């Protein structure tokens, strides 16, 4: 497994040799670490995961049967009550300690993320940042989000109303492989601070990262029973999680999301779905082309394009298209591929054979139908079994799969537009609605265009990071890109049940004080008019 250490390079832009002392997969994923991380997993079977850097087995792992999933839910349920009764301030303190621990011990998890996903270290660090931000935000703001709220009663002064927020119970969480730290534990943090237990099914290929984060949360003070992890095939273990959960939090493909939603609907439990995208970037006529070209590289090729909010459609105003493309293509060709467990590579690997097959198929089909490759376009088995060069396509048209389907790889198609109206219309002409990006020097124009794009997040003069990192504000998809939101108040209140307690005082809500029905009806009608007049809400 020492290959993971070997420096790799693109044809045009070699990477420097790995720094002395850089760890290998065998140094990182030791039998002791695997034993420690998997000790609480309820799993009577065996499975394994692999590192995309070499395709070799990374860890031998327990596998959960449907019966094991039921046991994990029993354990979580047994632990949840005491956790929900733990004062909120103590629950929030766990998140704040976790924040510090993640930043202190980031080197450990960066190695695991890289080994499990094959991504470059800088892209792995985005996950550390996202988790730290979520831990800080919900650690500090949970008390305000969850505090009992007073509301105007049916008859002000006579009806005293309080809204309470109770935990749902045991949340079932199903997570993908592409951001194994952020989309596993990062999304679970608000569920925990709201008093829930969580049974999580990470993707098997990236479960060590999720298990490492669980260990760290337990070290930060989370009772171990409150956080159960089950491991196994999605179509086998996933539906079992949905079958037992009081609420389902899912991140993954739109196809699987529809199945999850049906399972949750049959049981009448709530569900949030963070799904796929076919995200557009609009480079308006007045954009700074240098900055836009650099931003497009980040937006298209972070995590080798295996990012739900990354850009796969690039709309450029025809007047600046040549200048933009010259810069964008040059920057793309200069990207350095690498497999090293250290900073330095600009892009890593695809996660495995399925992603490589999709990316290759999309590119080859487009080329066969007349698209032109401006950069990349080929796999790089010399670097690693699933590497594919960052690719820019021109001349892509509607019948080509790459034009409409999510590729989820380092492939972007460039389209020219003549007017903003046209750009907005074409950007919106997709069943997806996750993220988009607008580049302009005119802030007001940028905001106006942004508001007309049908996506849950829009970034002006950046690709995806500002909206995702602004954790006080909701993040999620419109249309086929999802249901519900993470972050902000929605990202925590979805893990709660609202309860309204109305205390009626002095007079009943019925005829009284000698009023007959008619007088009571007249009294209530007058009261309603007065309430509107006095601007009651």
For the annotated catalytic residues, the residue numbers are 274
Where does this chain touch ligand NAD (CB under 6 A) — which range of 19-27, 73-81, 256-264, 515-523? Answer: 256-264
Dihedral sign for Cα atoms in the order 99, 104, 109, 111? positive
> Interface with ligand NAD by CB under 6 A: which range of 92-100, 233-241, 295-303, 513-521?
233-241
Tokens 């679970």 sit on residue: 188
Provide CB contacts within 8 A for 162, sequence distance 6+. Answer: 148, 149, 150, 151, 500, 501, 503
The residue number with the shortest CB distance to ligand NAD is 238
DSSP at 352: S
Number of residues that bind ligand NAD (CB under 6 A): 29
Q: Which is nearer to ligand NAD, 277 or 463 (CB)?
A: 277
- Which residue in 408, 415, 417, 464 binds ligand NAD (CB under 6 A)? 408
Binding status of residue 43 toward ligand NAD by CB under 6 A? no
The span from the CA of 366 to the CA of 394, in Å, is 9
Residue 469 makes contact with ligand NAD by CB under 6 A: no
CB of 242 to ligand NAD, least distance (A): 7
Q: How far apart are CA 29 and CA 188, in angstroms?
A: 24
**Interface with ligand NAD includes 186 (CB under 6 A)?**
no
Cα 8 to Cα 348: distance, rounded to the nearest angstrom: 10
Which residue, 410 or 482, has its beta carbon nearer to ligand NAD?
A: 482
The nearest distance, CB 239 to ligand NAD, in angstroms, is 5
Taking the complex as a whole, the smallest distance from the CB of residue 116 to ligand NAD amounts, in Å, to 13
Pairing type for strands 482-483 and 270-274 reads antiparallel
What is the largest distance, in Å, between two alpha-carbon atoms of the chain? 93
Q: Check binding of 308 to ligand NAD (CB under 6 A).
A: yes
- If binding is defined by CB under 6 A, does position 175 make contact with ligand NAD? yes
| Run of H or E including 422 | helix 420-428
When the beta carbons of 138 and 324 are compared against ligand NAD, the nearer one is 138
| Residue 73 found at the interface with ligand NAD (CB under 6 A) | no
183 binds ligand NAD (CB under 6 A): yes
In this structure, the number of other CB atoms found within 10 A of the CB of residue 44 comes to: 11
Distance from C-alpha of 386 to C-alpha of 354, rounded to nearest angstrom: 9
Dig out the tokens for 155 from the structure: 């008859």
Burial class (CB in 10 A: 0-12, 13-18, 19+), 423: buried
Query: Of 146 and 434, which has the nearer Cβ to ligand NAD?
Result: 434
Taking CB under 6 A as the criterion, which residues in 339-378 touch ligand NAD? none
Compute the half-sphere exposure of residue 130: CA atoms within 13 Å on the CB side of its CA: 25
* Pair of tokens at residue 436: 């988009």
By the rule CB under 6 A, 275 interacts with ligand NAD: yes
By CB under 6 A, residue 464 contacts ligand NAD: no
Q: Check binding of 201 to ligand NAD (CB under 6 A).
A: yes
Neighbouring-strand partners of residue 59: 49
Q: Is 331 in the site for ligand NAD (CB under 6 A)?
A: no
Is 63 near ligand NAD (CB under 6 A)? no
Task: Indicate whether 276 belongs to the interface with ligand NAD (CB under 6 A).
Answer: yes
Which of 189, 374, 434, 453 forms a contact with ligand NAD (CB under 6 A)? 434
Tokens coding 347: 């892009």
Is residue 477 close enough to count as binding ligand NAD by CB under 6 A? Answer: yes
Q: Which of 3, 27, 259, 365 binds ligand NAD (CB under 6 A)?
A: 259
Using the rule CB under 6 A, is 118 a contact of ligand NAD? Answer: no
Count Cβ atoms below 10 Å from residue 16 Cβ, excluding itself.
12
The rounded distance, in Å, linking the Cα atoms of 299 and 387 is 18
Are the CB atoms for 326 and 479 separated by under 8 Å? no
Measured from the CB atom, is 175 or 296 closer to ligand NAD?
A: 175
Residues near ligand NAD (CB under 6 A)? 174-179, 183, 201, 203, 234-235, 238-239, 251-253, 256, 259-260, 274-277, 308, 406, 408, 434, 477, 482
């Amino acid at each position: 497994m020492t290959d993971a250490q070997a420096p790799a390079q693109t044809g045009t832009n070699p990477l420097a040799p790995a720094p002395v002392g850089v760890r290998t997969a065998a140094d990182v994923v030791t039998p002791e670490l695997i034993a420690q991380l998997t000790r609480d997993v309820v799993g009577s079977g065996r499975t394994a995961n692999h590192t995309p850097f070499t395709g070799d087995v990374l860890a031998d792992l327990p596998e959960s049967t449907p019966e094991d999933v039921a046991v994990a839910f029993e354990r979580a349920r047994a632990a949840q009550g005491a956790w929900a009764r733990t004062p909120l301030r103590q629950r929030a303190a766990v998140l704040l300690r976790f924040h510090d621990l993640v930043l202190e011990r980031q080197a450990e998890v960066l190695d695991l993320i890289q080994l499990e996903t094959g991504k470059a270290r800088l892209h792995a660090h985005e996950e550390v940042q996202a988790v730290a931000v979520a831990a800080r935000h919900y650690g500090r703001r949970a008390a305000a989000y969850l505090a009992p709220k007073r509301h105007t009663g049916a008859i002000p002064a006579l009806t005293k109303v309080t809204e309470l927020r109770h935990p749902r119970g045991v949340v079932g969480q199903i997570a993908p492989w592409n951001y194994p730290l952020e989309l596993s534990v990062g999304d679970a943090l608000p569920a925990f601070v709201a008093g829930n237990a969580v049974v999580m099914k990470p993707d098997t290929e990236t479960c060590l990262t999720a298990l490492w984060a669980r260990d760290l949360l337990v070290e930060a003070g989370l009772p171990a029973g409150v956080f159960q992890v089950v491991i196994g095939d999605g179509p086998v273990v996933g539906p079992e999680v949905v079958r037992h959960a009081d609420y389902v939090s899912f991140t993954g493909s739109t196809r699987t999301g529809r199945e999850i939603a049906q399972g949750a609907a049959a049981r009448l439990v709530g569900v949030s779905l963070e799904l796929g995208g076919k995200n557009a970037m609009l480079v308006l006529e007045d954009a700074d082309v240098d900055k836009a070209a650099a931003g497009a590289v980040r937006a298209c090729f972070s995590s080798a394009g295996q990012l739900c909010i990354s850009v796969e459609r690039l709309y450029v105003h025809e007047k600046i298209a040549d200048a933009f493309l010259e810069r964008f293509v040059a920057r793309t060709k200069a990207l350095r591929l690498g497999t090293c467990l250290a900073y330095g590579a600009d892009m890593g690997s695809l996660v495995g054979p399925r992603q490589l097959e999709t990316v290759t198929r999309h590119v080859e089909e487009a080329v066969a139908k007349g698209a032109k490759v401006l950069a990349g376009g080929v796999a790089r088995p010399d670097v690693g079994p699933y590497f594919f060069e960052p690719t820019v396509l021109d001349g892509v048209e509607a019948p080509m799969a790459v034009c409409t389907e999510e590729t989820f790889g380092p492939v972007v198609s460039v389209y020219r537009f003549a007017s903003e109206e046209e750009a907005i219309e074409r950007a919106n002409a997709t069943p997806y609605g996750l993220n988009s990006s607008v580049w302009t020097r005119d802030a007001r124009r940028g905001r106006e265009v942004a508001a007309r794009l049908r996506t849950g997040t829009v970034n002006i003069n950046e690709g995806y990071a500002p909206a995702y990192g602004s954790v006080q504000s909701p993040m999620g998809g419109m249309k086929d890109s999802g249901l519900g939101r993470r972050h902000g108040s929605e990202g925590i209140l979805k893990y709660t049940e609202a309860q309204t307690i109305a205390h009626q005082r002095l007079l009943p809500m019925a005829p009284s004080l000698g009023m007959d029905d008619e007088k009571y009806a007249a009294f209530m009608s007058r009261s309603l008019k007065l309430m509107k007049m006095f601007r009651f809400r």
